[in-house]
Amino acid sequence: MEILIKNGYVFDPLNDINGDVMDIGVKDGRIVDPSEIDPSKAKVIDAKGKTVMAGAIDVHSHIAGPKVATGRLIKPEDHYLTNIPNRLPYRRAQTGVAVPNVFKIGYAYAEMGYTTVAEAATPPLKTRHTHEELNAIPIIDKMAFVLVDSNWIALDLIQEGDLEKLCAYYAWLLKATKCYALKLVDPGSDVAWVYGKPSLDLDNYVPGYNLTPRDIIETTGKASETLNLPHQIHVHCNRLGYPGNCVTTVKTLDLSNKFALRDRPSLHITHVQFTGYLGDSWADLRSGGEEIAKSLNKNRYATIDLGQVIPGFAAVTMTADAPFEYVLYHITRGKWSFADVEAETAAGIVPYRYRKKNYVNTIQWVIGLEITLLAEDLWRVYITTDHPNAGPFTGYPKIFSWLVSAKAREEIMKEMSSKALKRSALPAIDKELTLYDLAILTRASPAKLLGLEKEKGHLGIGAQADIAIYDIDPTKVDLSRDYEVVVRAFRKAAYTIKDGEIVVKDGEVVKTVYGTTYYVNPQIPEDLEREIESVVKEKFVSYYSVALDNFIIRREELKKSKEITVKAKLGG
């Protein structure tokens, strides 16, 4: 299908376009010069008075894999009353808000104009499950980050001090699991968890090893940069969830300079809200937003995503930070799930509700907003809710409204804890972002973060035809005053186009297509590859309960895939 989008207000920061009226041409799934399209034969969309952006990208969301599945299992109440009947044969039934089924995930993201989502964490041994679920999610392009910080083979190699072998192992692992980047969650703490010990701060020793989480982060960071991976190491900081943990986060951010081997961001800290707490108890919890914004401004090799809280929603916390979930279970005394994965990692799940009037939840809510509004460089900040930990991804439009409208913030602050707000900087911040800023935060810079800015996150010629058109006339709408329009428009796009196919029209899914799973293949010297294969073969026998050749995931198991090849800076 050929498409011609006419007269829209285009926001494309990667190409320096800020609201110009432009036509966009689509042909064979790519963006082309509009002059190449014959309007008499193409589908013409009149985008007059509408905002046009590239499809949005979510860099951290829990949408697929064993803990998402368990989350669904233990929260049937998330599904009783949240059903959207099917429209057979082109649209399947949807259910759920915090732990939706695969159809709700794909369709709701598409309805918001999101076309690429990264599954934030997958345990290697069960990653086949993650891929089965990713295969089943309609429309969006996807990828997964593989957990490595408590991995026995990785820890052995880090301890041995052989960086080349470690690089080779990570390369092998990424290929074997068909994943996109290296994920660290409360590094080293799952080793402690399996031994029944408490979680670790940056300089505690990992039980059984002569290593600290700092060592794990630095060495893995170095390896990732040496491997030339498109996305840098993705780190969930130590001490997540504890009052005062901001200190650890700032120390971790400072590490980014130590392995910035490519003069580009080397460290990504995720859902920084959860690790941005000042104070030494829940009673005197305060926002570390300003501290983190300052540290981010200083550390130009670091990037962060928010993990922004959406108050009033029944969230489900799910993370590889099993020791933290043990603590949260004891706070909530509700349901709890955990799963230890041999030689690799663990996970925990605890349903949790963020309450508007709650002091702690209000502090949590201000952190993400403070960071974004105080950051000097919006190109290193990303909007996420760590779905479903801080809120459902369908809450993103609300976040947009809080960022573009001080009035929107004022309105919701009326319902929140005044004591918490008195101790926060947010009420005094009157900065308001623009549509261009939103485009940076949700399209342009996420594409760069993932190393996919050639074909995603922008509307230049040659880009993938992943396009979102919203019912917002930037010349008529006062974003600050009419923030409800922002919420409505971004929740239900006028059009979403995926690989050149119209999949959403007037906020409704009109066609089910299937996107592509991205994974990385870091190329290393052949002799190193052979060496690591024999190391892995030997360790597998003693560490794992499955045969090595049954562990490896073959490309054919991915419904639709794209391999990103990179060349490691290794060897002769």
Partner 1 sequence: MTNSKSLILITGRSLMQGVSMEAEGKFSERYLKAAALIELNPKDIEEIGIKDRCKVTSDFGSVVLAVRRSEEVPPGVAFIPMGLWASAVVDYETESTGMPNLKGITIKVEPTDEEITKLQDVLKIFGFEKFDYKPQDRSVKTGERRVVENVICTFCGDLCDYLTIELDGELITRNRGGCPISVAKFLNYHKHRILKPLVRGENGKFVETSYDEAISKAAEILAKAKYPLLYGWSSTSCEVIDLGVFLAELVGGVVDNTAVICHGPTALGAQEVGTARATLGIIKHFADLVIFWGSNAAHAHPNHFARWVLSEGKHRKGRKERRVVVVDVRKTGTARQADLFIQVQPGRDYELVTALRMAIKDLEIEAPEVAGVPREQILELADMMRSAKYGVMFIGMGVTMTGAKFRTIEEVIKMAHDLNDWTRFVVIPMRGHYNVTGANEVKLWNTAYPYAVQYSDGFPRMITGLTSTTDVLIHGEVDAALIIASDPVAHLPRKAVEHLAKIPLIVIDPKWSLTAAVADVVIPTTMVGIETDGTAYRMDGVPLHTKKLVDPPDGVLSDREVLERLINKVMELKGWS
Q: Do 77 and 99 form a contact (C-beta atoms < 8 A)?
A: no
Instruction: Kindly tell me which residue out of 205, 379, 514, 543 binds partner 1, with binding defined by CB under 8 A.
Output: 543
Dihedral class, residue 315 (left if φ above 0, else alpha if ψ from -120 to 50, else beta): beta
Could you tell me which residues are beta bridge partners of residue 44? 4
CB 97 to partner 1: min, Å:
11
Q: Of the two residues 124 and 288, which places its CB atom closer to partner 1 in the complex?
A: 124
547 contributes a contact to partner 1 by CB under 8 A: yes
Helix H or strand E segment including 549: helix 548-551
Amino acid identity for residue 83 in this structure = N
CB 556 to partner 1: min, Å:
9
Amino acid identity for residue 523 in this structure = Q
CA distance 379 to 337: 36
Instruction: Kindly tell me which residue out of 254, 455, 501, 557 binds partner 1, with binding defined by CB under 8 A.
Output: 557
CB 69 to partner 1: min, Å:
5
Tell me which DSSP letter residue 177 carries: H
554 contributes a contact to partner 1 by CB under 8 A: yes
Q: Could you give the angle at which helices 406-413 and 396-404 cross, rounded to 10 degrees? A: 110
Q: Of the two residues 40 and 545, which places its CB atom closer to partner 1 in the complex?
A: 545
Contact letters for partner 1, residues 196-225 (x by CB under 8 A): x-----------------------------
5 contributes a contact to partner 1 by CB under 8 A: no
Q: Do 350 and 344 form a contact (C-beta atoms < 8 A)?
A: no
Q: Of the two residues 102 and 450, which places its CB atom closer to partner 1 in the complex?
A: 102
Could you tell me which residues are beta bridge partners of residue 32? 25
Q: Do 90 and 103 form a contact (C-beta atoms < 8 A)?
A: no
102 contributes a contact to partner 1 by CB under 8 A: yes
Contact letters for partner 1, residues 38-67 (x by CB under 8 A): --------------------------x-x-
546 contributes a contact to partner 1 by CB under 8 A: yes
Q: Of the two residues 419 and 555, which places its CB atom closer to partner 1 in the complex?
A: 555
Q: Could you give the angle at which helices 127-136 and 66-74 cross, rounded to 10 degrees? A: 70
Radius of gyration of the chain (CA): 23
CB 416 to partner 1: min, Å:
30
Q: Do 511 and 90 form a contact (C-beta atoms < 8 A)?
A: yes
Q: Is 541 exposed, middle or buried (0-12, 13-18, 19+ CB in 10 A)?
A: exposed
Dihedral class, residue 430 (left if φ above 0, else alpha if ψ from -120 to 50, else beta): alpha
Among the residue ranges 130-138, 305-313, 356-364, 377-385, the one whose residues contact partner 1 (CB under 8 A): 130-138
How many residues can be counted in the chain?
Answer: 572
CB 478 to partner 1: min, Å:
39
33 contributes a contact to partner 1 by CB under 8 A: no
Q: Of the two residues 190 and 370, which places its CB atom closer to partner 1 in the complex?
A: 190
550 contributes a contact to partner 1 by CB under 8 A: yes
CA distance 403 to 437: 9
CA dihedral of 443, 444, 448, 454, whole degrees rounded to 10? 100
CB 557 to partner 1: min, Å:
7
88 contributes a contact to partner 1 by CB under 8 A: yes
CB 388 to partner 1: min, Å:
13
538 contributes a contact to partner 1 by CB under 8 A: no
Instruction: Kindly tell me which residue out of 27, 37, 51, 94 binds partner 1, with binding defined by CB under 8 A.
Output: 94
Among the residue ranges 25-33, 129-137, 363-371, 462-470, the one whose residues contact partner 1 (CB under 8 A): 129-137
572 contributes a contact to partner 1 by CB under 8 A: no
Q: Of the two residues 263 and 549, which places its CB atom closer to partner 1 in the complex?
A: 549
Contact letters for partner 1, residues 389-428 (x by CB under 8 A): ----------------------------------------
498 contributes a contact to partner 1 by CB under 8 A: no
542 contributes a contact to partner 1 by CB under 8 A: yes
Provide the token pair at 275.
């690790």
CA distance 564 to 184: 21
241 contributes a contact to partner 1 by CB under 8 A: no
Q: Please provide the DSSP assignment of 202-248 as one string.
A: TTSPPTTSS--HHHHHHHHHHHHHHTT-SS-EEEE-TTTTSTTTHHH
315-374 positions binding partner 1, by CB under 8 A:
326, 329, 335-343, 349
Tell me which DSSP letter residue 13 carries: G
Size of the site for partner 1 (CB under 8 A): 59
Q: Do 195 and 572 form a contact (C-beta atoms < 8 A)?
A: no
Cis previous bond, 89, omega within 30 = yes
Positions touching partner 1 (CB under 8 A) are: 64, 66, 69-70, 72-74, 76, 78-79, 83-86, 88-89, 92-96, 99-103, 125-126, 128-129, 132-133, 136, 194-196, 326, 329, 335-343, 349, 542-547, 549-550, 553-554, 557
